Amino acid sequence: MKEPFLSEAKSLHGKNKYHTVVIDPPWQVCCNLTNEKFYRTGRKLPYKVMSDSEIGDFPINNFADEECDLFMWVTHTKIPAGLRIIDQWGFKYHALLTWDKLSGVCINGFYRRTEYVIYGYRKRLGIDVQEGHYIPTLFKETPKTHSQKPDVFYELLRKRTQEPRIDIFARKRHFGFDAFGDEVEHYVDLPLLEAKLE
């Protein structure tokens, strides 16, 4: 991860705090090909990665309010690390959301077509808990590019979580979210007209 990016993150102490934080850490993942490469192609990843300890040391409190909902993206192998890190950051685990990508890749005997979001909160749940309002623990969408997360996820959070919101380590900007990351693109997606939920 680029040092200027982390320096900027650490310098934000006392600035705007967020009630909803999405974080998509650039996990360092080893597989049966070569570290830091795509499972399918063996090409180098298009971004810098961080170790588990580096992610744990990320200054999340420079972004997260005292009362905050946290949504952390993890792969299969990083679920244990993600749970440890949100606990280290002072968040209580509550739910695991699953993204079904509708296609996948076989790794070490398992056909993997899912990715996960660990949800935790501080002090109290900030999500919409009115009857009939909910965040499903399963949503489906075909991936568009490597590491880009599904639009339906952001639409769900935009409707069911509190403002202000931020997307950390973002690959692109989404309507209703501030974005922070050294790979973020310089445009904002418009909201979906209808989220296709399961």
Structural domain includes residue 108: yes
Each residue's pLDDT tens digit, 104-119: 888 888 899 999 999 9
As a whole number, the mean pLDDT across the chain is 82
Contact call for residues 195 and 155 (beta carbons, < 8 A): yes
Tokens describing residue 24: 């998509």
Each residue's pLDDT tens digit, 5-40: 555 555 455 568 999 999 999 998 765 444 444 444
pTM above 0.85, yes or no: no
As a whole number, mean pLDDT of residues 111-128 equals: 94
Assess whether pLDDT exceeds 70 at residue 188.
no
Assess whether pLDDT exceeds 50 at residue 154.
yes
**pLDDT (0 to 100) of residue 132:** 83
- Domain holding 12, by residue range, is 3-187
Q: Using the structure block, give the residue that is written with the tokens 């069911």.
A: 160
**pLDDT (0 to 100) of residue 171:** 80
Tokens describing residue 127: 């999500």
3-state secondary structure 9-68: HHCCCCCCCEEEEEECCCECCCCCCCCCECCCCCCECCCCCECHHHHHCCCHHHCEEEEE
Structural domain includes residue 110: yes
What H or E segment, with its residue span, contains residue 81?
helix 79-88
The percent of residues above 90 in pLDDT, for the chain, comes to 57
How many domains in the chain?
Answer: 1
Contact call for residues 12 and 18 (beta carbons, < 8 A): no
CATH number at residue 131: 3.40.50.150
